Every structure is written in C-alpha cells, then in structure tokens.
C-alpha cells in the first residue's frame, strides 16, 4: 500500500509546481468557451456518474435522482444521465461531449485519495489543462479535516504517503485565464471540499451522497440567478390519477400533447402495475396555464388531480393492459 501511495505521490508532486510553470500562465485553448459557459442561461443539464462500484453493483447511485429533483426545482431541464467506469478515456470523452452540448454538467465520483480516483486528472486532460495544488483548498483541508483514528501520528508538516494521498483531493484542473472564484467554489464555511468548475460548466462533485447533496445545495445561490426564471418558480408538475388503462387514454393524451406543446408543456403517462390506477402528468413552467387545464384533463382521463401518485391506491385493483 505504501509503495503504491509513494508511486502516486511521485506522479502528482510536480502538479504543485505547475503554479510556477510557463504552462500555468498560458491562456487555455478553451478560455473563450469557458467564459461563454459561465455567462450562459441555464436551460439544460447532464449528469455523469463515475465509478466501477456503481457498474458492478456494489454501490447504488442516488446522486442522479437527487440532481434530477434539484434541477426540476430550479427549472433546469436535466436531459441526460450516464454511468461510466473509472476509465480516463471514458471520462474525458464524456465530459467534453456533455460540456459542448449542455449548459451545465455535474459529475459524481472519483475524486478521493486512492489510485482509482482519477476524475480530476481525466478532466484536466480532456480540456488540456494543468493540475494545480490549490493553496486555499489545501489550507481549508488542514483547518477543517481531522486525521482518521488510524492515523494518530499524521502531520501536514511531515512528508508522508498519506499526506501525498490527501493532496490528491486538492490538486485540481486549473485554467489561469478564468477567475479563481469561477472555477473553485467553496459553498460552506464548515466544508473544505471544493467544487471544481472546468470549462465554465463542468461541476466536479464527490460521489459520497451526503457531500454531493451538501455541495449541490450550496451551489444553488450561484446557479439560481442564471436559470430562465430567476425568480425561483422552477418547473411545475401536476399529477392526475386515472382508473383507465393507458391504451384507453392514449388518444386523448396525444391530442392534449399537441395542444400544449407550444407552451413548452409535456404530457406524461405512467403505468402503476397492480395499483388499479395510472398516473398522468403535466410538466412545464407556465403554471397559470396548466392550472386552467385541470378540469379538462380530469374529464379527459376520467380521474382527478392528486398530490401524490399513491393517493388513490387504497382498494384499487388491476391497472395495466394485459
């Protein structure tokens, strides 16, 4: 283990000196793209879950679900979620593609102290950026991070494989042409973990759900003013419970979808096997117009508006075409 950590430290130690290298003072090839992404209105988002442990079933991903609810509440359309392995080429390809296509990208996982945590390195390579020991992040780590009980003799002042491993978590992709505050964000006074923002729109977050959620929530004041409705209305979802089979309401829902699409409203239909009732939804940003449709939709699906999907489940029978 110590031999492996020593090898890692030899690979990463030069990164701290990049702050003084010619590369660190040279404008990034993607500088203009980064600045453009930082100014863009946030309409769309994508999520990249990174980790072998998710793909092999060891860990269940909950971060994408949290991000979906988060984006919905802000009024950002989460359009894509991908799960990929701890593979540098896979990570690099995915983040570049997503950064080019979506207003905001959120990654989860792969930024710890061990050899398989390669997200920072892979994203730095993807955007042709150096890796830099971020001084403020390191100082916050020293102030706010306590040594593990298994490391009673650990010291930030004494070189060691453990110290080199910890530094991996604050050696970040860095673009000298972008203001520091726009690419390294600290969202809470009691957290040392930074949110590294690369190319102006790739937000690198840890995979630990508690930290992922805390950091994401901390970004809300930064992201909310950039959405299409900065007043914070977000997106509205109206649920309807119907006793009809999906095939029975399909014709009406097709007509309704055509009627409301110019208003940016989506009509959804969701079977609920064994519950006796299915769910129809309206999702959009024009809440007033959607409210005006409630009576019409209730009549069209022979159901009623509900606050949650299972509201009418009691005593229900079969719900699905067979």
pLDDT band at 6 (very low <50, low <70, confident <90, very high): very low
pLDDT band at 230 (very low <50, low <70, confident <90, very high): low
Residue, of 121 and 115, whose pLDDT is higher: 121
- Report, as an integer, the average pLDDT of 291-306: 95
Closest CA to 83 of 35, 37, 48, 46: 48
Rounded to whole angstroms, the Cα distance separating 301 from 85 reads 43
Where is average pLDDT lowest: 8-22, 161-175, 231-245?
8-22
Residue, of 147 and 293, whose pLDDT is higher: 293
CA torsion sign for 258, 259, 264, 265 is: negative
User: In which residue are the tokens 């090898």 written?
Assistant: 7
pLDDT computed for residue 313 by the predictor: 79
- Are 121 and 204 within 8 A, CB to CB? no
Rounded to whole angstroms, the Cα distance separating 138 from 166 reads 9
Assign residue 110 a region (left: φ > 0; alpha: ψ between -120 and 50; beta: otherwise): left
pLDDT computed for residue 32 by the predictor: 80
Rounded to whole angstroms, the Cα distance separating 289 from 56 reads 45
- Report, as an integer, the average pLDDT of 285-297: 93
Percent of the chain with pLDDT over 90: 75
Average pLDDT of the chain, as a whole number: 87
pLDDT band at 179 (very low <50, low <70, confident <90, very high): very high
pLDDT band at 148 (very low <50, low <70, confident <90, very high): confident
* Token couple for 163: 């110290």
* In the predicted structure, residue 141 carries a pLDDT above the cut 90: yes
User: What's the pLDDT tens digit per position in 196-227?
Assistant: 999 999 999 999 999 999 999 999 999 999 99
156-189: burial string, b at 16+ Cβ within 10 Å, e else: beeebbbbbbbbbbbbbbbbbebeeeebbbbbee
pLDDT band at 22 (very low <50, low <70, confident <90, very high): very low
* Token couple for 61: 């991903």
User: Taking the chain, what is the end-to-end CA distance rounded to the nearest angstrom?
Assistant: 57
Three-state DSSP at 202 gives strand
């Amino acid at each position: 283990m110590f031999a492996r950590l020593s090898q890692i430290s030899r690979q990463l130690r030069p990164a701290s000196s990049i702050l003084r290298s010619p590369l660190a003072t040279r404008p990034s090839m993607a500088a203009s793209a980064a600045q453009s992404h930082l100014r863009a209105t946030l309409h769309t988002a994508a999520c990249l879950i990174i980790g072998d442990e998710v793909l092999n079933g060891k860990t269940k991903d909950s971060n994408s679900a949290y991000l979906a609810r988060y984006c919905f509440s802000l009024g950002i359309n989460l359009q894509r979620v991908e799960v990929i392995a701890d593979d540098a080429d896979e990570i690099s390809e995915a983040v570049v593609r997503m950064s080019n296509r979506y207003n905001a990208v959120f990654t989860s996982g792969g930024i710890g102290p061990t050899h398989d945590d390669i997200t920072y390195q892979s994203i730095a390579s993807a955007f042709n950026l150096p890796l830099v020991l971020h001084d403020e992040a390191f100082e916050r780590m020293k102030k706010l991070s306590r040594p593990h009980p298994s490391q009673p003799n650990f010291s930030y002042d004494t070189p060691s494989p453990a110290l080199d491993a910890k530094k991996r978590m604050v050696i970040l992709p860095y673009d000298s042409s972008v203001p520091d505050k726009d690419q390294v964000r600290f969202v809470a006074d009691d957290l040392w973990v930074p949110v590294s923002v690369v190319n102006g729109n790739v937000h690198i977050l840890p995979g630990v759900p508690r930290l992922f959620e805390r950091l994401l929530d901390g970004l809300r004041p930064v992201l909310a003013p950039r959405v299409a409705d900065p007043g914070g209305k977000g997106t509205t979802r109206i649920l309807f419970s119907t006793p009809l089979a999906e095939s029975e309401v399909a014709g009406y829902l097709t007509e309704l979808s055509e009627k409301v699409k110019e208003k940016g409203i989506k009509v959804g239909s969701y079977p609920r096997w064994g519950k006796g009732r299915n769910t129809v939804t309206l999702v959009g940003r024009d809440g007033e117009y959607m409210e005006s449709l409630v009576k019409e939709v209730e009549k069209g699906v022979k159901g009623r508006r509900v606050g949650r999907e299972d509201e009418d489940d009691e005593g229900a029978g079969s719900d699905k075409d067979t």
